[in-house]
Structures are given as structure tokens and as C-alpha cells.
């Protein structure tokens, strides 16, 4: 990744939903969720949001290369409430991905523990000795040219979970700069999008689902 140049898209923040406790946005691919190390990595989703909502607080992250729904809190109460929902796996996330090749089965679950691949950070890897439990449900939406469009439903929220689990399934996500190789890598972006997020609202506990259209 030494040839990596951070060039985030200049498009304005796309707000999907806002109220007195929460702000949902559609994060574009190529934009960091939070600042990286160094002044050249300060432009990020939370910094752009703070220009509009100075009180905004982080709840979770999406990878640089992943687009889609993110939620931010506007109060410490909302941050704690949502943090617990994520921790207790009470939120529901649905992603759409385009992968290389098409699984033989229409659906399934990948249940493989994940750990940091220390010599090759930020890569993660399947590790039965030291890995943390990770589960991803998947469904084939339809076959495409040389691959498939899939719906991915993570149960856990490990770093790079969907990317490593699809690689382990034998179907890396197209355009993945870390895990795809050859023709599977030759795409303008990572074909992974957080399509919807369902959670309970911190004020009253009602169910709230926010979606962002798939851009590919």
C-alpha cells in the first residue's frame, strides 16, 4: 500500500435522516470515516459532518473503500444507546457486494474467526488459534457476467469481516485492493456498499431503518 494516495471525493455530505439524536449519512467510497495519522488524512466523514453538526459523535466506522449508510450520534446519550446496540448485536446491517465467481449454493453462513495479519497490516486473516468469532450470512441476489451480486448480513462487526469472509468463501469482492487479485481486482472501486441499517431509536426505542441506494 506504499503507492496509496489519499484522494477523497469532493462531493457534499449526503444526509439520509436527521433528528435531535441521530444523523444518518451516505458515506462515499474513498472517504475515511475518521481522521488517519498525519495532516494529509484529516479530511473524513466525521470532520465534514462537524462543519454542520459541531456536536456530532462517532458510533461506528466503514472502511475507506466501502460506501453506504453510517449513523452518528448528536448526544452522549444517543452514542451510549447505539454503542450498546452494536455491542449486543441488536442492530441489523445489510450490505450489497459484487464478487468474483458465483457460489454454488443460493445462501449460507461464513463462520470463521478473524485476527490481524500483523506483518501485513491492515490486512486481516482467518485464524482459528487467536481470531475473534465472526459470522456473516450471505445470499446470492443474481449471477452476473463473471461473478455474482450478493446480499451480506454480518452478525459480528470485525474489521474487514465481509472482505475476508468472501475471500475465504472463494469469491473475493471485486475491486478489493487488499484481498482481490488479477481480474477481480481490476475495478474502479471496492464493490461493497452498506445498503441499510436498522436500529432502535435512542428516544423511545422505536425501530428505524435507513437505506442508501447501491451505486453500482
All structural domains of the chain, each given as residue ranges with its CATH number in brackets, are 15-89 (3.30.2350.10), 95-192 (3.30.2350.10)
At 2, the pLDDT band (50, 70, 90 cuts) reads low
Do 98 and 191 contact (CB within 8 A), yes or no?
yes
The reply to whether 63 belongs to the active site is yes
pLDDT, tens only, 8-40:
999 999 999 999 999 999 999 999 999 999 999
First to last CA, the chain: 25
The residue with cell 481522521 is 35
pLDDT higher than 60, residue 144: yes
Do 167 and 124 contact (CB within 8 A), yes or no?
no
What pLDDT score was predicted for residue 1?
Answer: 47
Residues 6+ apart with CB under 8 A from 86: 59, 60, 157
What is the DSSP secondary structure assignment for residue 88, as one 8-state letter? T
The residue with cell 455530505 is 13
**The one catalytic residue among 63, 65, 111, 117:** 63
Report the alpha-carbon distance of residue 97 to residue 106 in Å, rounded.
15
Report the alpha-carbon distance of residue 176 to residue 164 in Å, rounded.
10
pTM: 0.96
143, 133, 73, 31 alpha-carbon torsion, rounded to 10°: -50
3-state secondary structure of 209: strand
Amino acid at each position: 500500500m506504499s503507492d496509496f494516495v489519499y484522494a477523497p471525493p469532493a462531493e457534499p455530505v449526503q444526509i439520509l435522516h436527521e433528528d435531535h439524536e441521530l444523523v444518518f449519512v451516505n458515506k462515499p467510497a474513498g472517504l475515511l470515516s475518521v481522521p488517519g495519522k498525519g495532516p494529509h488524512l484529516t479530511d473524513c466523514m466525521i470532520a465534514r459532518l462537524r462543519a454542520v453538526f459541531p456536536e456530532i459523535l462517532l458510533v461506528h466506522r466503514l472502511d475507506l473503500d466501502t460506501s453506504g449508510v453510517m449513523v452518528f450520534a448528536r448526544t452522549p446519550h444517543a452514542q451510549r444507546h447505539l454503542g450498546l446496540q452494536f455491542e449486543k448485536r441488536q442492530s441489523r446491517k445489510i450490505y450489497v457486494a459484487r464478487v468474483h465467481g458465483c457460489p454454488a449454493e443460493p445462501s449460507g453462513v461464513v463462520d470463521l474467526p478473524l485476527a490481524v495479519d500483523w506483518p501485513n497490516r491492515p490486512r486481516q486473516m482467518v485464524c482459528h488459534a487467536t481470531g475473534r468469532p465472526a459470522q456473516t450470512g450471505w445470499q446470492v441476489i443474481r449471477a452476473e457476467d463473471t461473478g455474482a451480486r450478493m446480499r451480506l448480513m454480518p452478525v459480528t462487526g470485525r474489521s474487514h469481516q465481509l472482505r475476508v469472509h468472501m475471500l475465504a468463501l472463494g469469491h473475493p469482492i471485486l475491486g478489493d485492493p487488499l484481498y482481490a487479485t488479477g481480474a477481480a481486482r481490476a475495478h474502479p472501486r471496492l464493490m461493497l456498499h452498506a445498503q441499510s441499517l436498522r436500529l432502535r431509536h435512542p428516544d423511545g426505542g422505536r425501530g428505524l431503518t435507513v437505506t442508501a441506494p447501491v451505486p453500482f
